[in-house]
Amino acid sequence: IFQNLTKLSLRNNKITLKDSDREILRSFVNLTELHLNENMIIVLYNQKFCKLAKLIILDISNSCISIVHKAAFAGLNQLSMLNLSYNRIVQLDSDVFTALKSLTVLNLQNNLLKSFHIISSFKLIEIGLAGNPWNCSCDLFDLHIWLTASRVIVVNENNTLCTFPNTMKKFSIKTEAIQEADCTIEKTSLKNILTSSAIMLKNIALLTALTANNITKNNGTQADLPRVGKSWTFLAGVIWFVLSTTLLIFTAIKCPTWYRYLISYHHRHLEENESEMSEQEFSADMSSPTVFGTDNEEPIVISEKIHAVEPGEDRLIEDKYVDSSVTEEL
């Protein structure tokens, strides 16, 4: 039954044209007219209609299409009319229509196209471009030249207007002249920038190659160098080794100093008996005179014990808080 069908309308459904839908469409080998408008296709993938070699009319309008792949219409050698109006197409590559050798009518109205690069082999009789936010700058220069030079009929030409820039707003994209000189200067500047960038990249690549050769010559082979993919691991290992070595050296140098510093504060505290005996000896050795004050005042000691120095003494006083090694040196 499917092989005998020539016209098929599947409008106003929820068709998405996924792989399962494509397998079903392959059964309609003699189909000449297909209407898929008012569906939910969104993306036109490559070779969705490759088996419909006899198809002449294809209507996919108002189907929420936003992306059209380059080989979406591959195999449609007999297609004459293509309707993609009232979708959400933002960008459309001219290579999409390269395989459509028999295409004469193309409807792209009411999409979101700002520019469209036309190909010279495009032999259309009628084209619809109204309702798009066209940017009448150098990006639209090829389309402007093609519309004015060819005999193509622009459907609803009065509403095929520029949206950007503001100075050209509401002007027709066909009749309003885009300054060719400005586009030529812009293309020349862009070409010079690209040439300069290419030369710079070439010089950087050459310098990198020379540096790599020098490293290889100095080290014998390039196999001794660390792999690029593990360079961060090698760097982390080197840093860890340096820090560990530094810490060990610092600890080895500072340990004796810390040891002596701690030992010097190991003092022996006086016991209570020794402190009382010292006070008694001190009070016994105290000598007069004393001066008594007036009316019930306690006597005030005005002299202190003078120790006689024996001839054999070396006039040094032993201090338990002084390091013995320092005393021996003195």
55-75 b/e (C-beta count within 10 Å ≥ 16 → b): bbbbbbbbbebeebeebbbbb
Half-sphere exposure of 314 (CA within 13 A, CB side): 5
Q: What pTM was computed for the model? A: 0.57
6-18, pLDDT tens digit by residue?
A: 999 999 999 999 8
Question: Looking at residues 298-316, what average pLDDT do you find?
Answer: 47
Q: What local confidence, expressed as pLDDT, does residue 131 receive?
A: 95
pLDDT band at 236 (very low <50, low <70, confident <90, very high): confident
Q: Quick check: helix, strand or coil at residue 254? A: helix
pLDDT band at 25 (very low <50, low <70, confident <90, very high): confident
**64, 44 Cβ separation under 8 angstroms:** no
Tokens describing residue 205: 């690549």
132-189, pLDDT tens digit by residue?
A: 999 988 888 888 888 888 889 999 998 999 998 888 888 888 876 566 645 754 444 4
What is the Cα–Cα distance from 2 to 23, expressed in whole angstroms?
Answer: 12
Question: Looking at residues 73-84, what average pLDDT do you find?
Answer: 94
Among the residue ranges 172-181, 228-237, 313-322, the one predicted with the least confidence is 313-322
What is the Cα–Cα distance from 210 to 114, expressed in whole angstroms?
Answer: 47
pLDDT over 90, % of the chain: 32
